[in-house]
């Protein structure tokens, strides 16, 4: 896609935005509500992250394996919650998920 401004100058094209994976790892459920993963140079202002299941969720009933992990980026590390970051008790996900951290420009 290409976008031109009101003055006719090219504002955005296929070279204007890039995303690259800077970290990818499997995150198994551990003791506690979250785990901190140090990643050199990671920062909330230029990076983003997501956790993706690596095995099918069980679909019979309400399974704790189907609870999504929730990652947050901080300066120098990513904190992966094994469920809701707002919860202090209750169920947490049990299925290993892949953490993918990307950097954009």
**CATH no. of 18-104:** 2.60.40
Residue ranges covered by each domain of the chain:
18-104
What Rg value do the Cα atoms of the chain yield, rounded? 18
Per-residue pLDDT of the chain (105 residues; tens, 9 = 90+): 788 989 999 888 877 777 889 999 999 999 899 999 999 999 999 999 999 988 887 767 677 777 889 999 999 999 999 988 988 888 888 889 999 999 987
**34 touches 63 (CB < 8 A):** no
CB atoms within 10 A of CB 57: 12
Q: What is the pLDDT of residue 77?
A: 98
Q: What is the pLDDT of residue 36?
A: 97
User: At a CB cut-off of 8 Å and minimum separation 6, what does 96 contact?
Assistant: 26, 27, 28, 29, 54, 55
Q: What is the pLDDT of residue 6?
A: 92
CA 84 to mean position of chain CA atoms: 14
């Amino acid at each position: 896609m290409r976008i031109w401004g009101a003055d006719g100058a090219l504002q955005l094209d296929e070279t204007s935005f890039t995303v690259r994976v800077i970290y990818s790892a499997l995150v198994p459920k551990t003791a506690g509500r979250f785990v901190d993963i140090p990643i050199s140079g990671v920062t909330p202002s230029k990076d983003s992250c997501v956790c993706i299941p690596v095995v099918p969720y069980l679909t019979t009933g309400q399974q704790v394996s189907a609870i999504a992990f929730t990652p947050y980026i901080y300066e120098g590390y990513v904190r992966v919650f094994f469920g809701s970051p707002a919860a202090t008790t209750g169920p947490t996900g049990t299925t290993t998920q892949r953490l993918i951290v990307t950097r954009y420009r």
